[in-house]
Amino acid sequence: MYFLREALRNFYRHRRVNVVAVFVIAIGMLLVGGVALAYVNFRSFAAYWGSQVNMVIYLRDQLTPDRLEALRLALEQAPETAALEYTSKEQAMEQLRGRLGEGAAILQGLRSNPLPASFTVTIRDEYRRPGVLRETVERYRQLPEIEDIDYGERWLERFHTLVWMLEIGVIGIGGIMGAAVMFIIATTVRLALYTRAEEIEIMQLVGATLWFIKFPFFLEGILQGLLGAGLAVGLCYGLFALLMTWARPTGELFVDFSLIHFLPLPVILCMLLGGALLGGLGSLFSLRHTTASV
């Protein structure tokens, strides 16, 4: 209780410096929050786009009903299959006519239906990674009933590469901002230590240990980081709400806004705890480097 009281009193005594530090920390954490917000919503869109990944299995002509049914059962019971849909040759032709619209007249001269029957397999989430999906496709291609398989291999690999690059960028920016926040807090605490150098020296003379003297500064750093992170979350939410209010009327034709969300509670808690942790680490760094001079 003593340490907390001392930390709050120190924070109030040096409120001007601390308020400036909190605002600077908030700006840094706001950048982190903005990147996290973009990443969370990108993952939301990525999950939606990923759910649209289907494997189209084109079948050979002249399959007997028994072999077709056996293949259907095998695909239906495969662990990677979330849903299975069969399209006959006739249905494939009707779909093509529908897509061509008025241009379907060019199909009138066909003597036979050249389109193959197919199975459309909706892939489960855990099997959508390019490597796993490629192994599945290679296994299916060994079946004699299958003519060809299409699953958008190049698009899927580029998409996963983009997700990976975004994750690396988020980690990099978060690390840079975290180091900046630690530096700001360390500098603020160090200034506070220098302004109270005589008081600290007197406390040492009467027998107080360095940790007893400096622990309130450690708590003060945690308080700075926590307040800065909390302010950053509030600013991030305000900017997010403002952007949604401005963009929704004109953007609903192009973007599904139901996929866009603010930071989930676990991410907010991580930002708050991360701010407090960075504050404590910044204080420890400052205390370590001022032991000899105070």
Closest CA to 18 of 199, 233, 226, 212: 226
pLDDT tens digits, 192-215: 666 666 666 666 677 666 666 667
Q: What's at 56, amino acid-wise?
A: V
Residues 124, 153: Cα–Cα separation, whole Å: 16
Find all residues with CB under 8 Å of 122, minimum gap 6, and list them: 51, 54, 81, 82, 83, 84, 85
Query: Mind listing the pLDDT tens digit for each residue in 15-30?
Result: 676 777 778 778 878 8
Q: Which residue has the tokens 């900017």?
A: 239
Which ranges constitute the DSSP H helices of the chain?
Answer: 2-13, 15-51, 65-77, 89-100, 130-140, 153-195, 197-205, 210-251, 265-290
Tell me the C-alpha distance between 100 and 94, whole Å.
10
In this prediction, the residues of the chain whose per-residue pLDDT falls under 70 are 1-15, 17, 50-52, 102-105, 107, 109, 153, 185-186, 188-204, 207-214, 249-257, 286-294
